[in-house]
Amino acid sequence: MARRPETLAAQALHRIDVETGAVIPPVHLATTYARDGANALIGAHDYIRPEGPTQAHAAALICALEGGADARLFSSGLAAAAAVFATLPAGAHVVAQTKMYYGAKKLLQSLETKGAIVLAFFDPDDPDALARAVKPGATALIWIETPANPLWSVVDIARAAETARSAGARLAVDSTSAPPCTTRSLDLGADYVVHSATKYLNGHSDVLAGAVVTRAKDEAWQALCDHHSLTGAVPGAFEAWLLIRGLRTLFVRFERQSANALRLAQSLEGHPGIAQVLYPGLPAHPGHAIAARQMTGGYGGLLSLRLRGGAKAAAQLAASTEVFIQATSIGGVESLIEHRKPIEGPQSPTPDDLVRLSCGLEAADDLMADLMTALERV
């Protein structure tokens, strides 16, 4: 019987341990695996660097949730992104967003500085900018992130996929902010989906991991798998097991986090101390119509506030909350707040009056009261 993604996640692909009958997946800590008298492997694995059983289980679960053909687990989200970039031919033309996660942007810029790629940027808020940035026959990769951290620009994945196909390029989507419980980018035409699994997929702020899921097992994917095996950028077995644990509650966590964020965004619109609330779930957001089409399971727990008092007010707000914890990261069960510009540095396009919020699972009334009290102090 075919099972819905919510069921696959909750039961971790319904893999009962055959030896014990345990309903919780086992963790395999071994780094090497035995062979029989004929030197044939007893099981499916020989060594931990390519992939162990627990890592393979986590990757298979993410692959099933994304509707992909195959997936690989990495030691971080940036390691996953680096694997996609590493498979490009020397001097490849790559198109990416001006507004995106600053770590991935810095990685792309470092590759351009070394001459490994030729990089072009487009404004994600301009629906026609991507087509202008692409060079048909020359562009090898289009890299998009939607919604894009921390300004939450929304890119039309299906339209980007059409642009990629017409140019002979591959489309990779950083879907860290829109996990498969709300967006399945492969269904919309993407070639790769990339996650910082540290964030929503794990959801408990205790695992560093990344993932790449592919739409097709082709030569390019085999090259990525070879890179994955040779570099050994894989998480440990216990981290992979914790990731499986987190994935089992992804759908219910994301639903609650989305509800909390929407409540805050709606309540804070029009607040005298706030110049702008950035959240794709608000009708006033310029990308709302696209988000409504491609984020079918909620708009997520992430929003940003631009304060009328500028950078000073932003810093004060981030330091004044009591329920929201001032810390870096997103997607966890606890709510976090951060004055983002100082973290990204002076070259970042993020405004210095912006505060990023990651809503967790707390009572919405407590989150709202905390922010209102902190805004009064500011």
> 194 with 177: CB under 8 angstroms?
no
Q: Are residues 148 and 264 in the same domain?
A: no
Residue 290: the pLDDT is 98
Q: How many angstroms separate the CA atoms of 337 and 333, rounded?
A: 13
Q: Are residues 300 and 194 in the same domain?
A: no
Q: Are residues 225 and 267 in the same domain?
A: no
Run of H or E residues at 278 = strand 274-278
Q: Are residues 214 and 163 in the same domain?
A: yes
Q: Are residues 157 and 291 in the same domain?
A: no
Residue 2: the pLDDT is 80
Location of structure tokens 């404004």? 123
Q: Are residues 208 and 266 in the same domain?
A: no
> 269 with 284: CB under 8 angstroms?
yes
Q: Are residues 17 and 138 in the same domain?
A: yes
Q: How many angstroms separate the CA atoms of 267 and 254, rounded?
A: 20
Q: Are residues 135 and 70 in the same domain?
A: yes
Q: How many angstroms separate the CA atoms of 215 and 121, rounded?
A: 25
Q: Are residues 258 and 243 in the same domain?
A: no
Of 61, 69, 58, 71, give the one whose Cα is nearest residue 28: 58
Q: What is the CATH number of the domain that holds 306?
A: 3.90.1150.10
Which of 201, 223, 247 is where one domain is finished? 247
Catalytic residues: 49, 101, 174, 199
Residue 18: the pLDDT is 82
> 237 with 209: CB under 8 angstroms?
no
Q: Count up the domains in the chain and report the number.
A: 2
Could you list the pLDDT tens digit for every one of the 378 residues in the chain?
788 999 999 999 987 888 899 999 999 999 989 899 998 988 888 888 989 999 999 999 999 999 999 999 999 999 999 999 999 999 999 999 999 999 999 999 999 999 999 999 999 999 999 999 999 999 999 999 999 999 999 999 999 999 999 999 999 999 999 999 999 999 999 999 999 999 999 999 999 999 999 999 999 999 999 999 999 999 999 999 999 999 999 999 999 999 999 999 999 999 999 999 999 999 999 999 999 999 999 999 999 999 999 999 999 999 999 999 999 999 999 999 999 999 999 989 999 999 999 999 999 999 999 999 999 999
Residue 201: the pLDDT is 98
Residue 62: the pLDDT is 98
Joined tokens for residue 198? 């540290």
Apex 147 CA angle, 276 and 348, nearest 5: 70
Q: Are residues 73 and 98 in the same domain?
A: yes
Which of 218, 247, 276 is where one domain is finished? 247
Q: What is the CATH number of the domain that holds 209?
A: 3.40.640.10
Whole-structure pTM value: 0.96
Q: Are residues 285 and 297 in the same domain?
A: yes
Cβ neighbours of 83 (radius 10 Å): 23
Q: Are residues 147 and 218 in the same domain?
A: yes
Which of 247, 280, 298 is where one domain is finished? 247
- Which residue range(s) make up the domain with 349? 251-377
